[in-house]
Structure 1
Amino acid sequence: MKSHMLISIFVAGLLLVTGCTKDFDEINTNPNSSQQVDQPQLLLPAILKNSVRNYFYSSTTRGNIVGDYYANQYVSGFDNAWAPSEVQGYFLWDNFSQLRDVENLLVLSRKKQLQNFEGVGLVIKAWLFQVMTDIYGDIPFKEATGAKVNGVFLPVFDTQEDVYYGMLDMLKTANTLLTNGKDGLSGDIMLENKPLRWRMFANSLRLRLLMRISGKSNLKINVGTEINAIISDPVQFPIFTSHENQAAFTFLNDVGFEIPGFNDAPLNDIHLSVTMEKYLKALNDPRIGYYASPTPAGIRDGKKVFAGVPNGIAAGAEAVYNGGRDFQSSVSPALLPLASFPQASRTAAQGLLMTYAEVQFILAEARERGLISSGDAATYYANGIKDQFAYLAERIAGKFDYPKAADITPADSYYTQTGVAYTGTPAEKLNKIRIQKWFALFNNGFEGWSEWRRTGVPADIKTGPNSAITVWPRRARYPISEQRLNQQHYQEAVSRQGADDMLTRIWWDK
């Protein structure tokens, strides 16, 4: 109750900025916000609540589309929903407003010599930057929150390569601070005020970053050496050990603290994608009952029917596709608003920043590719699949008439079928790891999109016949405000990275 009260008091003062460089000082000197608070524990709950809710909503409504988990008639053509005017809110450029408050947390923590709070702040900072750079490529980084401290209102765009090295250094520093810190944490409404859990998040996030750049040559670091150092010393570098200690934000039944979108209008325009339908049905994967809702039309051969819609379909064609909306699957029961589903749950879904399953798939790939020399790829792979099933079953237990936990629990034969069993050539094994990882990144859709860009898996993600572009997007465009107000540095980034359009590949995607 105390943490809820703290959130209520301080959330009201946290401004969600609608422009990155709309007076870049506004991002750092909000007179109504966190700079007026002199205790880190009073800043932390609002930072966590705002940043995770913002990420959850964007990942559900846009990340799941670009990851091709869902299809949405309003993003099908990509010409409107990917326009610069929309990018800011939907594609998380407004993370800079959260970073302003994180910077205030860091300043206070250093001033008061609170190492644990500083470590937490660095982990959050690295995560927020990681989300943004993987969407856009080059972004303001070193100078991004410098208006208050050094009067930098129009920050330089750093190369994505430099952003990655900076984030990796941040996470190493955070692990050290959280190891040595003597100050007790409070106000941590996500990871239970436990420094160890933040260390697990920091080192697990390092694994994500290292795997993402593992295909690049001429790096300043050796990816295999870095990953080996982490997994060979779990005391110094702890990582997630199950879904019980992964980085997940639990929403509440309290009004205003439930899953974002719970009180929205009926959800009629987002559907299961045909790509997701195809891959789940090919494996007879029961998670389809969590990822999507059965079609309203009912049951076929004694089983609930699930049917997807292709991305890139025109709005008029979407309305009649496969016989119309009675024959199309809507989104997960755990994500439906009350207006769409009488049994809608305020708490079934969590805000997932990073999961144990993702870590296991990272290690499975690293072992299969020879990046690491310890552990067993098949074991890592199986751990990732089984834990994700267990996690989903726990989240829905007792919440719905359908699905129940038993409905999404696989039979033993699931693991022995050709498409799942860890057999085949090295290339076939890698493909299986990446498909299962894509499944597990559902509702962490921006990460699923990043993995597709990195690996090309699933291989048949593509635009539909009515799409405004013929190639699936590789990045989002910068906001119009950035082009207008930070023009010099914007132009420098574009001349270096490539045209500011959806098909330009970012650094690790080249």
Structure 2
Amino acid sequence: MNSKNIVIATVVILLLLTGCNDLFNDKFEKINTNPNDPVEVGPDLLLPQGIESAVDHYQGASTGMEFGNLVVQYWARVAGTNQDRYIYSNSQFSGLWNDSYAGELMDFKKIIQLGQELDNPNYQAIGMIMTAWNFSLLTDSYGDIPYSEALKGKDEEAITKPVFDRQQAIYTDLTKQLDEAREIIVPGEHPVNGDILFDNDMMKWKKFANSLRFRLLMRISGKEEVSTELQHLVDNEPMFTDNRDNAQLTYLSDPPNRHPFAELPSGRQNQFRMSRTLIDYLDKLNDPRLEVFADTADANGSLYVGVPNGLSPEAVGEIDISRTSRIGSFFRRPETPGVLMTLAELNFLKAEAAHRGFISGSAEDYYEQGIAASLEQYGVSGLSAYLSQEEVVFDPSQALQQIGNQKWIALYGQGLEAWNEWRRTGYPDLKPSVANDNDDRIPVRMQYPFQLETTNKKHYEEVIGRQGENSINTPVWWDQ
């Protein structure tokens, strides 16, 4: 074989070897790639996970039930009554903190990033709105929190010990983020999938962004001038106009996608009863929502009996628990909606804003629309008769009290949001639980998780020095 043929043969062999090697590598990659476990997770997969996780933690046992629904006296405990007496372990409050920062907020951050990378502003907007809602929940519960440097532990800068931003600055940015999210939403374009809150309806997301912004502006209305922004929303932006706009997650009948209360064992569910505070108030108003909120306590199905909040174990032992009202069957169903915000709440906020001169319009009309929306939400009739009652008829001299009390009723099941509004407005006029261990003071704040004293010592000490003692009695900025 001459030298030319030797060179040609060598080249052919090398090409064959290279091709075989490439083919082998391709086959090896395909064999070792699990098609059911993709390396890159799309926003359509992250979105349902983030939404359900966020609603679960809001409605869940340690926050929504053991704290929220008890502290605003929707429910009462008839076993293990410590939480109803304001005796908490720190783990009571650390769950919301840890789950939010390590869970759903990271999901929403990734959804925002993917929306940008995919040139899909609708995914980006959804991530921004849910992030704003989640951070508002955290700052309302704890006060100053990590915000501007939060969620950056895995970034290039790797901030693992973030500063605690002042609540005032956080609110300024949250309302800005909701503004930006609203502006980038394009209904009818850039389709999204995996939206289990609004079934991929971007106009409803736009309404939620504006309605949530209205809530946040009212939250700080005692501290800052908000009337211009509120009036702009009323005049120019779409907000909730129908109960079908409500931000709520409809759970499913099968685990693990059932409402958190339905996930509790029956014995644990039976540790809760209706609070006497709510039962007595609804009974006084002949309120038709009572039959939805509570079960009857007698065989005839006509008597509702609540339990005083915060009884001692000895006092509980003297009660015939079988003759007290359980949580209504509607709220024990697996498919019970996990509500984030409703038309009824928005209307009551508008009623207050109109009464205080922040927006134009009739406070009385908004007040009545709030009641109407709440009754419709639960499929309850009798609106005209209810509105004609002396204690329900709108009285301008008692407007804030009436609006606050009706908003408390309408927020039933959303204990944390009702607690926020009770702290802000002082309505309803709740009395501390009976045998409380907090010097007859209703808690006004969640405690920071104790681990922050060591894991983020410098910034933890800074925030304690600025905000006050890490106590359930230290008010947040907008509540001072």
TM exceeding 0.5: yes
Distance in 1 between residues matched to 2:171 and 2:38, nearest whole Å: 28
Q: Indicate the residue corresponding to 1:358 in structure 2.
A: 345
Give per-residue Cα distances to partners, 1:87-130, cap 9 Å, x unaligned.
Answer: 122x4542112111111111221122211100000000000001
Alpha-carbon distance, 1:440 to partner:
0.6
- Aligned-pair distance for 1:53? 1.9
| Counterparts in 2 of 1:381 and 1:293: CA distance versus 1, 3 Å | same
**Where do 1:371-386 residues align within 5 Å?**
371-373=358-360, 375-386=361-372
- CA positional deviation for 1:468: 4.2
Taking a change above 3 Å as real, the CA distance of residues 189 and 436 of structure 1, as seen in their structure-2 partners, is same
Give 1:272 deviation, angstroms. 1.1
Per-residue CA deviations over 1:279-335 (Å, capped at 9, x if unaligned) read 11110112111112212x433xxx5211111222112212323xx202221212123
Structure 1 residue runs of 5 or longer lacking an equivalent are: 1-33, 337-344, 394-407
> Amino acid of the residue matched to residue 51 of structure 2?
L
Q: Which amino acid aligns with 1:377?
A: A
Q: Which moved more, 1:178-187 or 1:43-52?
A: 178-187
The answer to whether the 8 A contact 1:126-1:171 is kept is yes
Helix, strand or coil at the partner of 1:412: helix
Q: What is the distance in 1 between the residues matched to 2:174 and 2:383?
A: 41
* C-alpha contact 2:72 2:430 (8 A) present in aligned 1: no
Measured in 2, the distance between the counterparts of 1:179 and 1:411 equals 37
Work out the CA distance in 1 between the residues paired with 2:431 and 2:208. 30
Normalized per residue, the structure richer in helix is 2
- Identity over the aligned pairs, expressed in percent? 34
The residue matched to 1:249 in structure 2 has which SS? Answer: strand
**1:291 equivalent in alignment to 2:304:** no
Deviations 1:360-409 (A, max 9, x none): 00111100111112x2211111111111111112xxxxxxxxxxxxxx43
Deviating more after overlay: 312-321 vs 129-138 = 312-321
SS in 1 for 2:261: coil
Q: Is the 8 A contact 1:312 1:467 kept in 2?
A: no
Residue 71 of structure 1 aligns to a residue in which SS? strand
1:332 paired residue among 328, 333, 352: 328
Aligned runs of 1:88-237 on 2, under 5 Å? Answer: 88-89=94-95, 91-96=96-101, 97-149=103-155, 150-179=157-186, 182-216=189-223, 219=224, 222-233=225-236, 237=237
Tell me what 1:16 maps to: none
Q: CA RMSD in A?
A: 1.8
Question: Where does residue 12 of structure 2 map in the other structure?
Answer: none
Residues 36, 455 of structure 1: CA spacing in aligned structure 2 closer, same or farther, 3 A cutoff? farther
One-letter code of the match for 1:501?
Answer: S
User: Could you tell me whether the CA contact under 8 Å between 1:116 and 1:181 is conserved in 2?
Assistant: no
- Match of 1:476, SS? coil
What is the CA distance between 1:213 and its match in structure 2? 0.6
State how far apart, in whole Å, the 2-side matches of 1:211 and 1:35 are.
44
The aligned counterpart of 1:313 is 311
**TM superposition score normalised by structure 1:** 0.82
Aligned counterparts of 1:310 and 1:248: Cα–Cα separation in 2: 30
Aligned length: 435
Which whole-Å deviations, capped at 9, do the CAs of 1:132-170 have from their partners, x for residues lacking one? Answer: 111111111111111122210111111111111111011
The match for 1:439 is 409
1:443 maps to a residue whose letter is: G
CA offsets 1:408-455 (integer angstroms, 9 cap, x no match)? 433632111111111241xx0111111110001111110101111001
Cα shift at 1:264: 2.4
Deviation at 1:461, TM superposition (A): 3.1
Are the counterparts in 2 of residues 293 and 329 from structure 1 also a CA contact under 8 Å?
A: yes
Conservation of the 8 A alpha-carbon contact between 2:147 and 2:165: yes
For residues 386 and 325 of structure 1, what CA distance do their matches in structure 2 show? 34
Structure-2 residue corresponding to 1:45 = 48
Residues 86 and 479 in structure 1, CA contact (< 8 A), matched pair in contact too: no
Match of 1:257, SS state, is coil
SS at match of 2:249: strand
Match of 1:399 in 2: none
Q: Deviations over 1:181-202 (max 9, x none)?
A: 9411111111011111111010
Alignment-derived partner of residue 85 in structure 1: 91
Q: Deviations over 1:25-49 (max 9, x none)?
A: xxxxxxxxx9953421221111112
Q: Distance in 2 between matches of 1:447 and 1:440?
A: 11
- Alpha-carbon spacing, 1:365–1:486, altered in 2? closer, same or farther (3 Å): same
Partners of 1:313 and 1:467 within 8 A in 2: no
Query: What is aligned with 2:33?
Result: none
How much does 1:74 deviate?
A: 3.6
Q: Distance in 2 between matches of 1:411 and 1:496?
A: 48
